[in-house]
Amino acid sequence: MSRRLLMCAGFAIGVSVAAPAAAGPLDHPGYPKAFSCSACHGFAGNSRSDAMPILAGQHAGYLKKALQDYAGGKRPSAEMEPYAKMAIELGVDDVASYFASQTRMPTASAIDRAAAERGKAASAVCAACHGPTGKGDAAKDMPDITGQPVGFLKNQLLLFKADKRSPGDAALMQPKAIIKGLPDDTLADLAAYYASQR
């Protein structure tokens, strides 16, 4: 094969590599704005940690509300407040729509099947707002709690119970009153149930 032909072959390969592939997480305009979040929330918002929430596939309106609540100090979190302020500075709609458009990989946390069964039996009081399996409602900023890490869900339920999540928020009085009436063991079962849902 001549040198010229080899160059042509090389050029052809170069072109085929540069051909547009299916849009991936890196192609979204929100990706560069969400880059620093991956240190805690995992690549494309698919946290593999038991304590950190998964952001991938969450409703955009809820993500935006959560970031505004952290930034304004309404939902206290020393870890999140500076990042929420940064996300708002960079463009909260792009950041929220980036994570909302990613496919959720359910939690890698180990799930106790017996606890999840007990949680399912206790979940009727939650279904009115969170839906039959916990998918929430995008139109009402109701979060999708399916496949979230067990540890994260349990911790949030304990924060609601102690009125430490968005303390005093009138809009959350009703769920907090329900959660306050449940023993911690039942909250752990509910966390296992929603973590097991897909």
Task: Determine the interface stretch with ligand HEC among 4-12, 17-25, 76-84, 108-116 (rule: CB under 6 A).
Answer: 76-84
Q: Which residue from 119, 114, 123 is spatially nearest to 178, judged by alpha carbons?
A: 123
Task: Determine the interface stretch with ligand HEC among 6-14, 21-29, 81-89, 105-113 (rule: CB under 6 A).
Answer: 81-89
Q: In whole angstroms, how close is the CB of 191 to ligand HEC at the nearest point?
A: 7
Q: Judged by CB, which is closer to ligand HEC: 129, or 138?
A: 129
Q: How far apart are alpha carbons 176 and 162 in whole angstroms?
A: 9
CB-based burial, 117-138: b 16+ in 10 Å, e otherwise = ebbbebbeebeeebbebbbbee
CA 188 centroid distance within chain:
19
Chain position carrying tokens 């509910």: 190
Is there binding between residue 190 and ligand HEC (CB under 6 A)? yes
Query: Site for ligand HEC (CB under 6 A): which residue of 39, 110, 139, 170?
Result: 39
Residues 41-70 that bind ligand HEC (CB under 6 A): 41, 52-53, 55, 63, 65-67
Q: Which residue from 167, 145, 124 is spatially nearest to 59, judged by alpha carbons?
A: 145
Q: How many residues bind ligand HEC (CB under 6 A)?
A: 39
Residue 108: C-alpha distances to residues 44, 126, 137, 151, 179 (Å): 15, 24, 24, 11, 26
Give contact residues for ligand HEC (rule: CB under 6 A).
34, 36-37, 39-41, 52-53, 55, 63, 65-67, 75, 77, 79-80, 83, 86-87, 95, 125-126, 128-130, 142-143, 145, 153, 156-157, 166, 172, 174-175, 178-179, 190
